[in-house]
């Protein structure tokens, strides 16, 4: 959506309030206090913070940040702790269902891959050519 009129702003504010009363957060992506969307909503008297309030926690400049916040809220509501930043290789779905020998070989390959150096390419650089060995990820 590129613009919002006063009736749309009011409807959005009312729905946000209704959802909040039911314990549901409505997160808006592409809306921050300093951009035209945030300013437009506030110009219509919507989504105003009280003096001293933190910045809005339901407005996000990017959809991926709003999605991450929604995921965190859902995990919290489900009683899950904060997601761990990493999972042991042996516990990943990639190795699930393998027997001990297969899992050991898979772990060895993954460890080798982890030790490989990072390769950075610039625009126009060739990543690989047809017929190149498939020994790099």
Total of domains in the chain: 2
| Residue 12 covered by a domain | yes
Q: How high is the pLDDT of residue 135?
A: 66
Q: How high is the pLDDT of residue 45?
A: 87
Q: How high is the pLDDT of residue 78?
A: 81
Residues of the chain with pLDDT under 50: none
Q: Are 59 and 31 in contact (CB under 8 A)?
A: yes
CB contact burial 40-58 (16+ within 10 A = b; e otherwise) = bbeebebbeeeeeeeebee
Q: Are 83 and 75 in contact (CB under 8 A)?
A: yes
Q: 70 and 26, same structural domain?
A: yes
List all residues 6 or more positions away from 63 whose beta carbon is below 8 Å from its beta carbon: 29, 30
* Boundaries of domain holding 41: 6-77
| Residue 17 covered by a domain | yes
């Amino acid at each position: 959506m590129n613009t919002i009129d006063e009736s749309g702003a009011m409807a959005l504010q009312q729905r946000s309030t209704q959802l909040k009363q039911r314990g549901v957060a409505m997160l808006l992506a592409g809306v921050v206090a300093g951009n035209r969307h945030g300013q437009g909503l506030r110009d219509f008297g919507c989504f105003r913070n009280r003096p001293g309030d933190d910045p809005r926690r339901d407005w996000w400049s990017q959809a991926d940040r709003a999605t991450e916040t929604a995921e965190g809220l859902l995990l919290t509501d489900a009683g899950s702790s904060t997601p761990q930043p990493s999972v042991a290789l042996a516990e990943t779905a990639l190795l699930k269902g393998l027997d001990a020998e297969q899992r050991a070989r898979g772990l060895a390959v993954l460890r080798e891959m982890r030790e490989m150096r990072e390769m950075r390419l610039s625009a126009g650089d060739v990543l690989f050519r047809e017929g190149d060995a498939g020994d790099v990820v």
